[in-house]
Amino acid sequence: MSDPTKTTTSPPGECVSVLVVEDDPVFSLQLQMMLQKAGGSSIRVTRAGDMAETEAALRAGGIDVVLLDLNLPDSEGVDTVHRVFAVNRSVPVVVITASDDDELAHGALQAGAREFLVKGDERARHILRTIRFVMGQHKQEMALQASEQRFRDFADVAADWFFETGADLRFTWFSERATALMGFESDFLIGRRRDEVCAPEDAEKVGEHMGVMERREEYRNFVYCLNWQGVRRYLRVSGRPVFGGDGGFLGYRGVGSDVTAEIEAERFALSMLSVLMDSLSALPYGIMVFDADDRLIVANDGVGGLIPCCADHLIPGTTFLDLLKAAVEADCIARPDEGIDAWIANWRGKARQSGMFIEPTRNGVKLYFHQYPTATGGMLRMVRFERGIHPNQD
């Protein structure tokens, strides 16, 4: 057997490392010398005489390609290829053997070998070209696999599943995760269009969306309700038209996400806000809620009734001081003797304080502002007239 540690040397990082697996030490040495002569410093050769030495060399690492004889003292035939891949699945294998057998060649290639060479045709330059071709092919495949994996990683984060349609816009494929996330077998959607499986209330919207697809346009973040077999799910989908080499339309490829929880949470929040506003509107005084920047978030109808001149200013984002200034300029609040700017400056200091503050209206009726700081840094303000006075009393 040959010594597996016996190698040619060349500068690190500038060569292809070839493992020659051959039980005939004379032929093994001949291959090594032929490759060294043809490739010079660009080839580094390690020799192994049986499968045990081969496995040891592969486990040690640093092998770029294996030049493999199939018939070894401890391994024979296609099983030799399988045993190489059992140790290192990614290393490319070039078979070089004495048997010019088509069935054996087919079996070796099916097992994963890249090329099948017959001894007797082992011209050095031919073998070297084969090795370099296989290495180039292998590197391209590795780069493609890495690129595909990056795409899958990004896509898994950005979306829940993938889908495809045919040119007739009917679904032809869903990725595996679709079934688990949508709550039913996605295969039931195969052969159907999106407008055939949407909820009735979304029919008009989905119809317009199908027009976009029929015009072969890209779409992004389209949300609709899927209603199928008693299951209702809100989906967000994006798709891109696919065209063949001849320019013919092939269909769409796209991604989808289940946003049911998000949509239902938004609807619940809106319903709770509606209940809150109904409750606030039933109170006999005005209620305003401001954020940490003292900008209006919400106000009940009572504020507009108490200070009708400010009704047009009761929109989210308006500051409390702007509301006060508008009330003075419209004569809802009596004009201050010190002037509006000085009066606003005084209120700026009081606006962050808790307590009750009083301002006279133009007809002398007192307007009470009760301020209650919130846990989030905002302010709840209650507005009322003095007791016994009707808001519209002159």
How would you write the chain as a 3-class SS string?
A: CCCCCCECCCCCCCCEEEEEECCCHHHHHHHHHHHHHHHHHHEEEEEECCHHHHHHHHHHCCCCEEEECCCECCECCHHHHHHHHHHCCCCCEEEEECCCCHHHHHHHHHHCCCEEEECCCCCHHHHHHHHHHHHHHHHHHHHHHHHHHHHHHHHHHHCCEEEEECCCCCEEEECCHHHHHHCCCHHHHCCCCHHHCECHHHHHHHHHHHHHHHCCCCEEEEEEEEEECCEEEEEEEEEEEEECCCCCEEEEEEEEEECHHHHHHHHHHHHHHHHHHHHHHCCCCEEEEECCCCEEEEECHHHHHHCHHHHHHCCCCCEHHHHHHHHHHCCCECCCCCCHHHHHHHHHHHCCCCEEEEEEECCCCEEEEEEEECCCCCEEEEEEECCCCCCCCC
Q: Is the pLDDT of residue 112 over 90?
A: no
Q: Which range has highest mean pLDDT (62-66, 207-211, 277-281)?
A: 207-211
Q: Could you give the CA distance from residue 98 to residue 93 in angstroms, rounded to a whole number?
A: 16
- pLDDT tens-digit series, residues 343-380: 999 999 999 899 999 988 877 788 899 999 999 999 99
Considering only the top CATH level, what class is 283-385? alpha beta
Q: Averaged over 187-202, what is the pLDDT?
A: 93
Domain boundaries, the chain: 16-152, 159-264, 283-385
Predicted TM-score (pTM) above 0.85: no
Cβ neighbour number for residue 186 with a 10 Å cutoff: 21
Q: What is the average pLDDT score of the chain?
A: 84
What pLDDT is attached to residue 157?
A: 54
For position 13, what pLDDT does the model report?
46
Do the domains 159-264 and 283-385 sit in the same CATH topology, yes or no? yes
pLDDT in tens, 40-98: 777 788 999 999 999 999 999 889 889 899 889 999 899 999 999 999 988 889 888 88
pLDDT value at residue 78: 92
Pick the CATH number of 159-264 from 3.90.400.10, 3.40.50.620, 3.30.450.20, 3.40.50.300: 3.30.450.20
Kindly state the tokens that stand for 223. 């949300």
* Amino acid of residue 348: R
Q: What local confidence, expressed as pLDDT, does residue 79 receive?
A: 93
Question: Helices 78-87 and 51-60 meet at what angle, rounded to 10?
Answer: 30
- Domain 16-152, CATH class in plain words: alpha beta
Tell me the per-residue pLDDT of 127-173, one tens digit each, with 9 for 90 and over.
767 777 777 777 777 777 777 766 665 555 555 888 999 999 999 99
Higher pLDDT, 343 or 121: 343
Contacts for 210 with CB less than 8 Å, ≥ 6 apart: 169, 193, 194, 195
